[in-house]
Chain A
């Protein structure tokens, strides 16, 4: 690991000020000299591996704004402070009741210890676990722009079948993000250019020819909150995660589903897929395919086909297309059958 200067700002504006002093407008958060750390479960790992090398680490854990650590549930929605830990949100009674897909996605992620450490904002910003990205001696366009992609023709069983480009096929491995997309969440961020609101679905960037640019955030921007509106489909929502072992593993395929039903038929569906795409993936085609339809095995299957119409499998991950479809079908039917 490269050495770094450790700083512990005490409020958001101070943190932004330090970050903006040591970063430029062209810096991207994951490549900047000054980077923020909260739980550390992702960044500390990548610093040890030599994948991330900030020379200034800004510890956000002592920021004094109380709202950063609070979960506020009202009839309009839920607001999560960015420093709320995954475990707290997963165990929150009202979150479990009103936004089950959020609680599920957090509970099925990582381990008890990691959920106690990782902040919600840090979790949704977690970087890919692609093996070729993690080991600096492999070619990786995300790690070293222009160096190539060893995963493309390599062992790519866990890699993305949706949203990939010629430069990168690394999967986004988070779980929480899919729940946020399904529930139309927005995030609030503060940076040197002021505070702003970003629809969660627009936070992550497709790799295209710049896989090293992962999000829409500036290097001196701090996420302060995540807001989820109390939309009609939030209560009938579910997160299904399929993995090789029963627990503590990344998804081979996952689906966050939220449904607003009118009897048997779908008034509105929200679908996000995980473990299958380069970014948290909203399956808009599948949602459209279900609109107004009676939700059954056949319509769910048609929606799944629509979701994967553009899938591009590679040598070792071809099974994920079929697995992704079946995961979605199962998630849709299980969500339909939820007692709400």
Chain B
């Protein structure tokens, strides 16, 4: 694999940032607001008071203190520092923000983070194994050139994994239909379908 790099423009290089986030497992991640010592009443917040939100993201626990208005998407991007999940419309119309919550694919832009308290969230950053081996769906997307600009790709991959898990990838027609909530403006659609077929077959061991 060739390496890509753009010179860092802040004191914080992307690499050290990501490392910091991941290794911060139990502690507060770099960009999150300070963790509250005690957990406030889980079921009510005052107007403009921050709310405590516990999430397990990619198998790591996070304790966040958020504006109740914060979407799950903005919580991931702005408070946890996981920017792999993308904002493409912020209104549930493009699918770029797709993540798995308790194993199901959902749109993180239309869900307030606080509504996901206690849930298990999987983002694109949580797919590859710790030794760097890609998830079969990620590898399939590379093999079939299932993207161009790459911006919708994390959402496509999360959606594709959800689609296969749901049993909605039995035929190419099914895949096209059940992947239609993820808009690819570069229009890599035929390649996305081919990638989902490959990963599905691999998961089935065929």
Contacts and interface: CB of A to CB of B under 8 A. Distances in A.
Interface stretch (A112-120, A140-148, A151-159, A316-324): A112-120
A3 interface: yes
Point out which of A10, A44, A49 has the most chain B C-beta atoms below 10 A from its C-beta.
Answer: A44
Interface in A28-62: 37, 39-41, 44-45, 47-49, 55, 57, 59, 61
Contacts of A10: 43
Interface residues of B, number: 40
Interface string B30-53: 000000000000111111100100
Given A3-B68, A117-B106, A8 B42 contact: yes
Interface size, A (range): 20 to 34
B92 A112 contact: no
A256 to B, nearest CB: 20
Contact of B180 (A4, A9, A247): A247
Nearest to B69: A1
B90 A40 contact: no
Given A5-B47, A45-B110, A87-B166, A112 B105 contact: yes
Contacts of A7: 43-45
Given A41-B107, A55-B47, A113-B95, A4 B69 contact: yes
Contacts of B69: 1, 3-4, 47
B178 A112 contact: yes
A4 B45 CA distance: 9
B83 interface: no
A111 B181 contact: yes
A3 B162 contact: no
Contacts of B48: 3
A84 to B, nearest CB: 13
A3 B112 CA distance: 12
Contacts of B92: 41, 44-45, 113-114
Given A6-B51, A59-B115, A111-B180, A40 B45 contact: no
Point out which of B48, B111, B114, B159 has the most chain A C-beta atoms below 10 A from its C-beta.
Answer: B111
B42 A40 contact: no
B112 A114 contact: no
B111 A112 contact: no
Interface of A: 1, 3-10, 37, 39-41, 44-45, 47-49, 55, 57, 59, 61, 87, 91, 110-114, 116-117, 246-248
Given A8-B117, A45-B91, A49-B91, 20 more contacts: A3-B68, A3-B69, A4-B68, A5-B45, A6-B45, A6-B114, A7-B43, A37-B115, A40-B115, A59-B114, A111-B181, A112-B168, A112-B179, A112-B181, A113-B98, A113-B105, A113-B106, A113-B159, A116-B106, A117-B110
Interface of B: 42-48, 51, 67-69, 71, 90-92, 95, 98, 104-107, 110-112, 114-115, 117, 159, 162-163, 166-168, 176-182
